[in-house]
Structure 1
Amino acid sequence: MTSTDSSSSALASRGAARLEWIRSRMPLLAGARAELAVTQPFAGHRIGMSLHLEPKTAVLLETLAAGGAEIVGTGNHGSTQDDIVAFLREQGMTLFGTRDDSLDQHHQNVLSVLDAQPTMLLDNGGDLVAGVVARGATAGILGGTEETTSGGDRLRRELAGAVPFPVIVINDSLLKAIGENKHAVGQSVVESFMRITNLMVPGRRFVVLGYGWCGRGVAHYLRALGGKVAVVEVDELKAFEAALDGFRVSTAVGLAEWGDVFITATGHAGVLTMEAIERMHDGAVLANCGHFPWEIDTDGLRAAATGSREIDEAIERFALPDGRHVVLIAGGRMFNLAGREPKGNSIESMDLGFLLQTLSLERIATGAATLTPGAQPVPDDVDRTIARRMLLTMNASE
C-alpha cells in the first residue's frame, strides 16, 4: 500500500466513524432507504450532484444509492469535507473535489460531473442545470431537483424558458422553509458565529441583511440569546413583518455605524457594499450565510484595504486607509459550512430536507411526464407525507 493509499484509507475510516452517529439520528432517511431498496426507482439512472459534501449529505447519497442510483458529484466551493469524500469513494461513488480547491477548480469539478452524462440532477445553486443548458445537452436529462433560493431564482430568471425538463425546487417547500431555513439555519449560523469568533452574542449589535426564511431564523435566534438585532430588507412586506416582529429596520448604509456584526442572508449579489463598509466602526465583523460568496463586496474590500492578515482559516482582518479594520469570516462564503470545524444545519432538519430531496427525485424518476418543464414547487402530497412522518419522529403529541 502506498502512502497515498494509506492516507486515503485513514480519511475514509474517519469519515465512516463520523457518519455512524449522523446516520443513527436520521430516521426519516432510514425509512426511505429501506423502502427504496425494494422499489429501486433509480435503477439505471446516474444522478449528477452538486451539493455540500458533508456527513448528512452522505446519508442522502447512501439512500439514493440504495434505490439503485449511480452517483457522480462534487461539493460546493470551500465546504467539502475530505474524510466524507474518501468514505463515499470507497462505497463506489464518483466524487470530484477537495476542501482546498480554488473557485476555478470547483467550476472544473462541476464540468466533470456533466462529462459523466447524468440522467438526473441534484443541484445546489443551479450550476448543473446551467451547464447542461449551455452545452445544449438537455435531451439526456429526465429532470432534477434544486436545493436553494439562489438556484430557484436562477432557474426562474437567467434560465427561464431554457430548461425543457422538470426541476423541483426544494426551497419552495413550506416544510423546508420552516424546519430547515428558519430554525436550522438560524441555529447553525448563531452557533457557528460563536464557535468561529469566540465572541459573545448578548448585548452585541447584529445587522441581518434579508428577512426571508433564513434571515428570519438568524434574527430570531440572535435575539433569543440576547443580541440586539436590526434587519435590512428591500421587500416592503417582509420589512413590515420584521418591524412588527420587533426588529429595527433600515438600510445597510443606515445601519452601518450602528452594527457590530453584519450577516447577509439574501441569495443576491452585492447586498453589503463598500459604501456601507466604509461607514462601519473599527472591528466590525462581516459574514455571509447565503449560497454564493457574492453577497459581500469582498473584491471591493480587498481593493480598498491597505493590508490584510489571516488570523486563522476562517478569520481574515483587513486594514483600511483611515486606520480602521474590519473582519471577514470564511472569505465571504457560507460560514456555517465553509468556516472552521463546520457542522452546518442540525441533523434532524437535514433528515427532513433530504427526505424532501429523496421523494422529489423519486417523483422525477417515476412520474416526470406528469410534471411541467422548468422550476416548480415540491408536490403538495410529498410535503404532507413528510410532515406527518416528521411529527411521528418528534413524538409531537406527547
Structure 2
Amino acid sequence: MTDTDLAARGAARVDWIRSRMPLLAQAREDLAATRPFAGHRIGMSLHIEPKTAVLLETLAAGGAEIVGTGNHGSTQDDVVAFLQTLGMTLFGRRDDTLEEHHANVLRVLDAQPDMLLDNGGDLAAGVVARGTEASLIGGTEETTSGGDRLRGELSGAVPFPMIVINDSLLKAIGENKHAVGQSVVESFMRITNLMVPGRRFVVFGYGWCGRGVAHYLRALGGKVAVVEIDELKAFEAALDGFRVSDGPSLAPWGDVFITATGHAGVLPVEVVEQMQDGAVLANCGHFPWEIDVAGLRAAAVGSREIIDAVERIDLPNGRHVVLLAGGRMFNLAGREPKGNSLESMDLGFLLQTLSLERVATDAAGLVAGAQPVPDDIDRTIARRMLAALHAGE
C-alpha cells in the first residue's frame, strides 16, 4: 500500500470516528474562535489511532502545533499517514522496537515543545532527565501509570503543572470502568475467537479498570475471580460477588488471566508455572511490565506466534501458556484494533482538551507537579455528556 493509499484509508476511518464524537466537535468550534493554543507547540506521546486523530485535529483547530509519537506497539500507520497530510509532525510505526519507540520520544523532545500531552510519563521523565524543565509551561498526563511516576520517581522534579486526566472521577467511571471493561472483553473475543460464557477469568486489580473488566466479563457469563492486595478494594470485590484470593491460589483455577493494576511484576513466572495447560495471559495496563514476560521467555523451552497477537509459550513442566500482544496493552492489539468506545474517548479527550486549554491560559493559577482535573472542568463535561447521551429522555 502506497503512502497515499495509507493516508486515504486513515482519513476514511477518522471520518467515521469524527462523526460520532459530538463533544469534541463542539470543542473544535469553540477553540477555532478563541485560539488558546496559538504559538504553542504540544509534544505528544499517546496511542495513535482514529480517536486520537480527532483529539489532535481539535487541538490544531485551537492553534496548536503538534509534534508527537505513538506508544509502543499500538501505533496505527494509516492514521499517522493521514495526520501527516494535515501538517503534523509524527514519528513512529506500529512495528517499531521498544528502542525505536524510546528514540521517537527523544525526537519529540528535540522539537522543544512548551506543552506536553503525555501517556505514561515518558515525556515528563525525558524533560527532567535532560534538564529542560524551564521551557515547559505544563501539560496533561493520561494514565494511572503516568500519575504514579509523577508522584513517585518524578516527585518534586517537575516544576510545571501536569494535570492527571486519570484522576478525574468522570474518566474513571466513563472510560476506565465502562470503556476499558467493554474493550477488554471485545478484544479477548476478537483476538482469540474464544467464548466468554462459562470460562474462568482471573482479574488482577480492582481499581476502576479492573472493576470494569470483571463486571463486563461476568455480564457475558464468565466466572470471575479477583486478585487485589488493597484490603478495601478486595472487600468491595467480595461484596460485588466475585471470588477474591491471591495469584498462587487462583493459578490452577483460571483459564484466562488479565492484569489491570499499572504496577510491575504482578504476574510472576512462579505463578504462571502453576497454571493449567493452555492458560491465556493478557495485560490491559499501560506499561508491558505487569506480566513478567522477560522471565517467562527465559524460562520457556520454546515459543511461536500462532496468529497475530497470539503467542504460544512452552514451559519446562510440559504445559504451555498463551500470551496476548506480547504482554502489551492487548485491547489495542490484533487485527483492526478498536480500543475504548467512541463515546468514552469523546469524554476522555474533551477532558484532555479543556485541561490543556487551562494550562495554556492559566498555568500560573495551577500548582507544580501532578494534580487532578479542575472540578469545574469535570462538571462542565459531565453536563455535556449527559446531554449527548439524551439521559433525560
- Provide TM-score, normalisation by structure 2: 0.99
- In the alignment, is residue 272 of structure 1 matched against residue 267 of structure 2? yes
Q: Does 1:208 align with 2:196?
A: no
Aligned to 1:7: 2
Q: 2:58 aligns to what?
A: 63
| Unmatched segments (≥5 aa) in structure 1 | 1-5
1:388 to 372, 383, 387: 383
Per-residue CA deviation, residues 170-198 of structure 1 (Å, 9 max, x unaligned), is 00000000000000000000000001000
Offset, 1:312:
1.7
Partner SS, residue 125 of structure 2 = helix
User: Structure 1: how far apart are the matches of 2:348 and 2:99?
Assistant: 29
Question: How many angstroms apart in 1 are the aligned matches of 2:267 and 2:149?
Answer: 20
- 1:21 aligns to 2:16 (yes or no): yes
For each residue in 1:1-32, what CA deviation from the matched residue of structure 2 results, as whole angstroms up to 9, or x when unmatched? xxxxx811110000011111100000000000
Rounded Cα–Cα distance in structure 1 between residues aligned with 2:202 and 2:74: 24
Deviation of the 1:37 alpha carbon: 0.2
Aligned-partner Cα distance in 2 for 1:150–1:203: 32
The one of 102, 107, 115 aligned to 2:110:
115
2:56 is paired with a residue of what secondary structure? helix
> Is 1:365 aligned with 2:360?
yes
The answer on 1:47 being equivalent to 2:47 is no
1:181 and 2:181 matched: no
1:238 maps onto 2:214 in alignment: no
1:81 & 1:8 partners in 2: Cα distance?
13
The TM-score, its normalising length taken from structure 1, stands at 0.98
**Aligned-pair Cα RMSD in Å:** 0.6
What secondary structure does 1:160 align onto?
coil
* Secondary structure of 2:303 counterpart: strand
Tell me the number of residue pairs that the alignment of Structure 1 and Structure 2 aligns.
393
Provide, for residues 186-233 of structure 1, a one-character-per-residue CA deviation record: whole Å limited to 9, x for no partner: 000000000100001000000000000000000000000000000000
* Deviation string, structure 1 residues 69-115 (Cα, Å, up to 9, x no partner): 00000000000000000000000000000000000000000000000
Q: % of aligned pairs identical? A: 82
* Aligned residue type for 1:170: I
- Whether 1:219 and 2:190 are equivalent positions in the alignment is no
Unaligned regions of 5+ residues in structure 2, if any? Answer: none
**Amino acid of the residue matched to residue 261 of structure 2?**
T
- 2:344 maps to 1:349: yes
Structure 1 residue 360: deviation in Å? 0.0
> What is the rounded CA distance, in whole Å, between the counterparts of 2:207 and 2:306 in structure 1?
32
| Paired residue type of 1:370 | G
Deviation at 1:388, TM superposition (A): 0.2
**Correspondence 1:95 to 2:90:** yes
Distance in 2 between the 1:87 and 1:197 partners?
A: 30
Q: Deviations over 1:253-284 (max 9, x none)?
A: 11000000000000000000111101000000
